[in-house]
Amino acid sequence: MENNRYLEALALMGVGGAHPGGLHLTKSRLAAENIDSRMAILEAGCGTGQTAAYIAEQFQCHVTALDASETMLEKARERFLAKNLPIELRQGNIENLPYPHDHFDMVVAESVIVFTDIARSIAEFKRVLKPDGVLYAVEMVLENKLPEHEMKPILDFYGVTRLLTETEWRNLFYHVGFQDVRAEVFTIPSGKTGLDNTPDFLLSENVDSGWFDVIQEHEELTTLYEERLDFRIFRCSLDN
């Protein structure tokens, strides 16, 4: 994830809820889980901490938030302090999580895994989950294979080494030991244009205008490839 201009732009602009579907998606899917105050939940790649803050407020459980970016962590820290939330915040890499085996009841990773060594990150999530734990991930998927000349600009812009189809994602989850893998296509209901679907921003001071151009390029790529590049919500558990 080093020298990734897209991720750096998100950090400097403090974009929260940047994953597809935004906070609306997060709320709707977590509401379907049996989350209670005794549970320990990790938000891996927490960014500005929007999801971690929501989980802590909504479910009153123990929340841990981790990100590799110090800039993002500073903004998450500001958010948690403003809301007086007792969230454990830590800098770290999801390819080598600084937590023991069988530690969390749930791991939440929203638009994070694709920017890492995918197989290593998934294996780490499996390692730190309790035997009855759940991984909830929102990730970019290819609807159809793209020719190399179309794939290269996407890979270069996002700083990733590959893009996977839903089947390829499923196979990787199964390969590391998840027993039940479910994938869902999420469509934002018509009329849902409120704050939950709009990213929030915690801008760093004196952000160069060039970083806004990076976000604009992301929007243009998303529009250009909207028929071939989508996302899935994956729910992976260690038991059937």
Intra-chain end-to-end CA distance of the chain, in Å: 33
| pLDDT of the residue at 144 | 83
CA atoms of 104 and 125, how far apart (whole Å): 9
State the angle between helix axes of 166-176 and 118-128 in degrees (0 to 180), rounded to the nearest 10.
50
The residues that bridge with 110 in the sheet, in sequence order, are 138
In the chain, domain spans: 5-237
- pLDDT tens for the chain, 240 residues: list them: 445 777 677 766 655 544 556 788 889 899 999 999 999 999 999 988 999 999 999 999 999 999 998 988 998 999 999 999 999 999 999 999 999 999 999 999 998 999 999 999 999 999 999 999 999 999 989 998 888 888 888 888 888 888 999 999 999 999 999 999 999 987 755 544 444 444 555 555 566 667 677 777 777 777 777 778 889 999 999 876
Using DSSP, state whether 232 is helix, strand or coil: strand
Q: Which of 56, 4, 27 is nearest to 186 (CA)?
A: 27
* Measured CA angle at 210 (ends 204, 215), to 5 deg: 80
Residue 129 has a pLDDT of: 98
Q: Which fold has domain 5-237?
A: Rossmann fold (3.40.50)
Per-residue confidence (pLDDT) for residue 223, from 0 to 100: 78
